Amino acid sequence: MSQLGLAATRPLRIVMPGGSGQVGHILARFFQERGHQVTVLTRGPYTAPWQTVFWDGSQLGPWVETLEGADVCINLSGRSVNCRYTARNRSQLYDSRIGPTRLLHQAFATLANPPRLWMNASTATIYRHSLDRDMDEATGELGGQEMISPHRRASEKWNWTVELIKDWEAAFFSGETPGTRRVALRTSLVFGPESGSIFAVFSRLVRFCLGGTQGNGRQYVSWIHETDFAHAIEFLIDHEEIVGPVNLAAPHPLPNREFMAAFREAWEVPNGLPAPAPLIAIGTFFLRIEPELVLKSRRAVPGRLLQSGFQFDFPDWPEAAADLVRQWRARDDL
């Protein structure tokens, strides 16, 4: 247990740049309910039980004062790396991730008492398309120019996404941050029962009998229940020996075919129409996301968390899906 003593000593001050999205809301609610002071830096301040402060993610301003003497900074800013890739928005996608990270480096350099821990968002998409084995932080192979079938190389869009994430982490770990520990959060799909979440999207497909196998169904899905996600962030705060990249994923990724079957079982929907790759390409075009979100095989596993003694409440997808469906139904009954 670190000197931060999250639960045992004193309330923490936690600042979350870009924390207005689904993942940020999960963490802000989690820490606020535990008596910690949460400040979300956001381009569009909103009404919430925690403090919100304006920042534009591109230049220093009064928001820097929120970092002075804070315990933890959790940077979640940037557009999703799985949103629709075009030549026009390529620079926007790059700047939305790299820019705020570099800006925070500038802000930290001005502080007399910077946060002792800086966690920066990343993603498990950084690993190669993997059907053959799990990818942990020590042995996982980073993606880029890999073969996704015996006769097919990953597309330029897939490769560019991986290079973006590599540059993002390089920007984060660049330079010196005296007195500040840095952890890159290589996060898999975070499932929570909120409207507009990835869980809501998949659930809609399942409930309308469209939740069959996607693609050939052999690609692996890395995922994490929102409860384990929040507890893992808390665990990382408390364990000062952990630095560098950390996979935030449940320990048992599974093939898409099994993933969707368990999802249907949780919703008590016996059948689901399959979606071959060409149909996914059409559907994701209208959803303004990349087919990679569904078709890339991600086998990220939480090697460092497990080695450090972290215990998952939901290590297996069938139990996690059943719990999420139960929470969704309970919410609808209110």
pLDDT at 285: 54
Asked if the structure places residue 215 within a domain, the reply is no
pLDDT at 3: 43
Q: How far is CA 116 from CA 53, 68, 212, 226, 264, in A?
A: 21, 11, 46, 25, 44
pLDDT at 286: 52
pLDDT at 157: 74
- What tens digit of pLDDT does each residue of 139-151 get? 999 987 776 666 6
Asked if the structure places residue 124 within a domain, the reply is yes
Asked if the structure places residue 5 within a domain, the reply is no
Asked if the structure places residue 189 within a domain, the reply is yes
pLDDT at 7: 46
Structure tokens at 127: 């690993």
Q: Which residues of the chain have pLDDT under 50?
A: 1-4, 7-8
Residues forming beta bridges with residue 122, ordered by sequence position = 186
Nearest alpha-carbon partner for 35 in 10, 72, 4 = 10
pLDDT at 159: 82
For the chain, the domain total comes to 1
Instruction: Please check whether residue 277 is in contact with residue 295, taking contact to mean a CB–CB distance below 8 angstroms.
Output: yes
Taking each helix axis as running N to C, give the angle between helix 226-238 and helix 22-33, from 0 to 180 degrees, rounded to the nearest 10: 60
Containing structural domain, residue 92: 13-194+222-251+300-313
- CATH number of the domain to which 102 belongs: 3.40.50.720
Asked if the structure places residue 135 within a domain, the reply is yes
Q: Which element (helix H / strand E) includes 216?
A: none
Looking at residue 164, its amino acid is L
pLDDT at 213: 93
Asked if the structure places residue 53 within a domain, the reply is yes
pLDDT at 113: 97
What beta strand segments (E) does 147-267 contain? 147-149, 152-153, 181-187, 189-191, 220-221, 223-225, 244-248, 254-255
Asked if the structure places residue 187 within a domain, the reply is yes
Structure tokens at 122: 């990343």
CA pair distance 13, 25, nearest whole angstrom = 16
Asked if the structure places residue 27 within a domain, the reply is yes
